[in-house]
Structure 1
Amino acid sequence: MGRSIRVAVIGAGMAGILAAIKLRERDIECVVFEKGDSVGGTWRENQYPGLACDVAAHWYTYSFARNPEWDSLMAEGKDIRAYFERVARDFGIMPLIRFNDEVVQLRFDEAGWDLLTASGHTDRFDVVIAATGVLHHPNIPHFDGIETFSGAAFHSVHWDHDVELDGKRIGVIGTGSTAAQLTSALVPRADQFQLFQRTAQWVMPRENISYTEEDKARFRENPAVLEELVRELRSKTLEGFANAVIDYDSPELAAIEQLCQENLETIRDPDLRQRLTPSYRAACKRLVISNTFYDAIQQPNAELVTSPIERVEPEGLRTADGQLHELDVLVLATGFKVDRFIRPTRVIGRNGVDLDAVWADGPKAYLSMSVPDFPNFFLLNGPNSPVGNFSLVEVAQHQIEYILQLVDGIRRGEYTEVSATEEAMQQFETERCEAAQKTVWVTGCDSWYLDKQGVPASWTFSYDRFEQETKAPRMQDYQVHAAHSSTASQGGVREQDQAGRRVK
């Protein structure tokens, strides 16, 4: 099919594995660059006790590689990592990956990208696909005196498995999903457990049902049964959650709020219940999904600390009320810098444009995948992609199929360079920001969903619109350079209709 091209994929997590598989299906040469020593991305980086996915496991799989072997509705992190490792092996992409070699610079020149890695390796590619994820650059707040702490202290993503936990005095800073999972996992092991809370979180209960060996056998023997389960899980989540977050007046959001409130009422102690009650609407921050957190925090050896942290001392944490909380282990469950994407890799586009400068006020991309003046450079799960309590695997599948339609145009020789126009991106951003005003994310909370301007850094439209937008590119929204031509064309080499089909 046309000329041969080479594609660099940055990252060997969920999205990078997907990209490599889909490129191989098209017989497109690709090299995957991975900064770590194995595949798995988020599920390799995060290995803390209690780690699990809050999305139904059977939906959190590639549509072409379902897994009938999940033990429960929401899988443990180690099992998810094993799934991605198995898919990478089964689909033969392991030989395509350069491990332990982080990409430090990409520079566009003459319809291609020059790539440089930390080891000094250089290469050139026609296309770059950034599949770098967002949950791997830890957010580590500064605490005065942290360097004086005599015990073990680390961020949850840098879990020290050599540290003894049983019978220890353990403190966890944070109250998001990671902190909730850690609380459930560590309270039974600790002599004393203290959770340091700055902001209370809404917790939605969800029974993590187990699958029997008979269930697994039925899924293996009849894939149609497994697909029906996936459709059911998907439908319930999208109808109940995706519709709720984009409309703060929706009955779906009211139902979520009721579930969260009823769950909160299971806290027996009125004072503890009051301190665990958020001051904002449910789903304004990412919901914590747990059937075990409230039970764990009510155990006799567990304590919720709401007085602000003043400083760290050798023996533990000193809070603003003057109390010293003595600890052996201190865990920072303080989340991630979710606006990094491909950075700190330096990306230089057309005419020397630096991606850091373009994203100085916050990362943006047309339909979350293409940035003006960065031709043949695409992002999976990029800026303002759909986020929340649903399958990012499915999101990435929609995006890679869209991106590969643009890549196919390069292979066919219709153009050598393609990137979104500034006008298309600005129109998309205007609509996205207008739609944001109806979402639950702007109803009065401070969350990692919000950018520097207080606008949700997320897909603020319906999930149906996301699926429609990613069916096929509208070439009028792209600037292309035709083969053997030095002039750019606004709107593509040929006019296309809304579905992306060529108009004769």
Structure 2
Amino acid sequence: MLTAAVIGAGMAGILAAIRLDQSGIACDVYEKGDSVGGTWRENTYPGIACDVAAHWYTYNFARNPEWDSLMAKGEDIRAYFEHVASDFGVLEKIRFNDEVVLLRYDAGRWHLETASGHRADYDIVIAATGVLHHPNIPDFAGIDTFRGAVFHSARWDHGVPLDGKNIGIIGNGSTAAQLVSALVEGAKRLDLYQRTAQWVMPRDNIPYSEEEKALFRKDPAALEALIRELRSKTLNGYAAAVIDVSSPEYRALEQVAQDNLATVKDAALRERLTPDYKVACKRLVISSTFYDAIQHPNARLVTSPIERIEPEGVRTADGNLHELDVLVLATGFQVDRFIRPTRVIGPGGLDLDDVWAEGPLAYLSMSVAGFPNFFLLNGPNSPVGNFSLVEVAQHQIEYILQLVDGIRTGHYREIAATPEAMRRFEEERCEAAKKTVWVTGCDSWYLDKKGVPASWTFSYDRFVQEAAHPRMQDYETR
């Protein structure tokens, strides 16, 4: 029987373990944390929620008719993944609290080593490590001198009292928007330190009635019809818009964001909240509460650059000292890490760190030339944005299983993308990027060192088509 190692027990790792088991492939799952859930385990800050419709953000074999509203709370999403992992027998396959530090390919197998010294050999490896788990912590001068509590949003200290406190939030993306909405009323004062204004799209989090949930339980077809509707609205709107700034879909998206900004009553505040780049050049913030929250009497928008952190608070370039009790770093993640810092050594000593020295690459986001029987879920240049990464991962695992099937049936022992296929895909992806909104003039985490979006730059329909069946001429087998 073939054996597989799955690295990570978040959404994609749970999916991989289930589908491998259903395909008759024995697998072990390695998780650096103490439980499943990935980003939903790491991020527990107040107000955390998914900005993708909850029913769409589920596995197609494990729908959940019990969601309370259109977009789910983080704790409910984590519970969903915990239940699926338990129901499908994934938990007993997981080695918790033991990070994989080395993968080395030799004599037709991957040799794995963990931080505890555990070693094992596998025929294939699937990296399901995600991207939102290595916090990006800027090196602010003096941050070690701050007398209050300071922590990253993904390392939330729930023991720190917040009510009646002066709270500072550094950052202005989706996390910060959720935090401002959740904390402003209870705070004595809340400062939002904005380096770059963000475009905010309104989306009311409509609750589901008990009658609707009863219908979804009784009639799975009704639930699937809702999911198709949610999917279609997003893909025909947002996904079509961002890859072509000349499209009518983009103009419609732009108008909605501009109309939402116009709801800010104070002209001076509205001006400071107005981005100087095109709508969706950065990842859109989805919120129907942020603009109200930042206009709350307890809220202050600080746009003067941070000069340093002092024991009493934040000193900005205009000379002002903003005294604080709590400082939260909502400064995002190192999104180019993927499986790293795990060392991945292919045949002949080929080091993945060297291959990715100029930025992470993979053919169709799933296979790296020179690394046989090594696959990635939600890997480099996968579709990202305001749609379901669960659905993306499901397309990818089915594609990978088709490649693995050739190993299982004895047609070949090794498979990896050819260098030519990986180069051609990257050239096509970079060419397609020229039409996207992401290259219209903003500094975004979507952009790599060369200024090219580290994302799928084609249509979502093309992704689905490419993931349906491998083109075997684009792979080397042995």
Q: In which range does the TM-score fall when normalised by the shorter chain?
A: over 0.9
- The structure 2 residue matched to 1:153, chosen from 146, 150, 153, is 150
Q: For 1:296 and 1:465, locate their aligned partners in 2 and report how far apart those are by CA, in whole Å.
A: 39
Q: For 1:189 and 1:436, locate their aligned partners in 2 and report how far apart those are by CA, in whole Å.
A: 43
Paired position in structure 1 for 2:375:
378
Q: For 2:243 and 2:107, locate their aligned partners in 1 and report how far apart those are by CA, in whole Å.
A: 42
Paired position in structure 2 for 1:419:
416
Q: For 1:286 and 1:307, locate their aligned partners in 2 and report how far apart those are by CA, in whole Å.
A: 23
Q: Deviations over 1:132-190 (max 9, x none)?
A: 00001000001000000000000000000000001100000000000000000010110
Q: Deviation of residue 472 (structure 1)?
A: 1.0
Is 1:469 aligned to residue 466 of structure 2? yes
Q: Deviations over 1:183-226 (max 9, x none)?
A: 00010110100000000000000111001111111100000000
Paired position in structure 2 for 1:103:
100
Paired position in structure 1 for 2:405:
408
- The structure 1 residue matched to 2:354, chosen from 340, 354, 357, is 357
Give the letter aligned to residue 84 of structure 1: F
Is 1:270 aligned to residue 267 of structure 2? yes
What TM-score, normalized to structure 2?
Answer: 1.00
Q: For 1:49 and 1:122, locate their aligned partners in 2 and report how far apart those are by CA, in whole Å.
A: 39
Paired position in structure 2 for 1:162:
159
Q: Deviation of residue 251 (structure 1)?
A: 0.9
Q: Deviation of residue 253 (structure 1)?
A: 1.0
Q: For 1:443 and 1:347, locate their aligned partners in 2 and report how far apart those are by CA, in whole Å.
A: 35
Q: For 1:182 and 1:111, locate their aligned partners in 2 and report how far apart those are by CA, in whole Å.
A: 49
Q: For 1:110 and 1:409, locate their aligned partners in 2 and report how far apart those are by CA, in whole Å.
A: 18
Paired position in structure 2 for 1:498:
none
Paired position in structure 2 for 1:243:
240
Give the letter aligned to residue 349 of structure 1: G
Is 1:222 aligned to residue 223 of structure 2? no
**Aligned-residue identity in percent:** 75
Paired position in structure 2 for 1:501:
none
Give the letter aligned to residue 351 of structure 2: D
Q: Tell me how large the CA RMSD over aligned residues is.
A: 0.4
Q: For 2:353 and 2:378, locate their aligned partners in 1 and report how far apart those are by CA, in whole Å.
A: 18
Q: For 1:319 and 1:93, locate their aligned partners in 2 and report how far apart those are by CA, in whole Å.
A: 49
Q: For 1:57 and 1:301, locate their aligned partners in 2 and report how far apart those are by CA, in whole Å.
A: 31
Give the letter aligned to residue 96 of structure 1: K
Paired position in structure 2 for 1:196:
193
Paired position in structure 2 for 1:231:
228
- The structure 1 residue matched to 2:255, chosen from 244, 258, 277, is 258
Is 1:282 aligned to residue 268 of structure 2? no
Give the letter aligned to residue 210 of structure 2: E
Q: Deviations over 1:470-493 (max 9, x none)?
A: 011111100111xxxxxxxxxxxx
After superposing on structure 2, the runs of 4+ consecutive aligned residues of structure 1 that deviate more than 2 Å are none
Paired position in structure 1 for 2:312:
315
Q: Deviations over 1:356-383 (max 9, x none)?
A: 0000000000000000110000000000
Q: For 2:283 and 2:389, locate their aligned partners in 1 and report how far apart those are by CA, in whole Å.
A: 14
Q: For 1:417 and 1:450, locate their aligned partners in 2 and report how far apart those are by CA, in whole Å.
A: 33
Question: The residue matched to 1:61 in structure 2 has which SS?
Answer: coil
Is 1:397 aligned to residue 394 of structure 2? yes
What runs of 5+ residues in structure 1 fail to find an aligned partner?
482-504
Paired position in structure 1 for 2:133:
136
Give the letter aligned to residue 335 of structure 2: V
Question: The residue matched to 2:176 in structure 1 has which SS?
Answer: helix
Question: The residue matched to 2:50 in structure 1 has which SS?
Answer: coil
Q: Deviation of residue 350 (structure 1)?
A: 1.3
Q: For 1:212 and 1:55, locate their aligned partners in 2 and report how far apart those are by CA, in whole Å.
A: 19
What TM-score, normalized to structure 1?
Answer: 0.95
Q: Deviations over 1:109-137 (max 9, x none)?
A: 11110000000000000000000000010
Q: Deviations over 1:413-447 (max 9, x none)?
A: 11110000000000000000000000000000000
Q: Deviations over 1:308-346 (max 9, x none)?
A: 000000000000000000000000000000000000000
Paired position in structure 2 for 1:497:
none
Q: For 2:250 and 2:40, locate their aligned partners in 1 and report how far apart those are by CA, in whole Å.
A: 30
Is 1:50 aligned to residue 47 of structure 2? yes
Paired position in structure 2 for 1:179:
176
Q: Deviation of residue 57 (structure 1)?
A: 0.3
What runs of 5+ residues in structure 2 fail to find an aligned partner?
none
Q: For 1:460 and 1:85, locate their aligned partners in 2 and report how far apart those are by CA, in whole Å.
A: 33
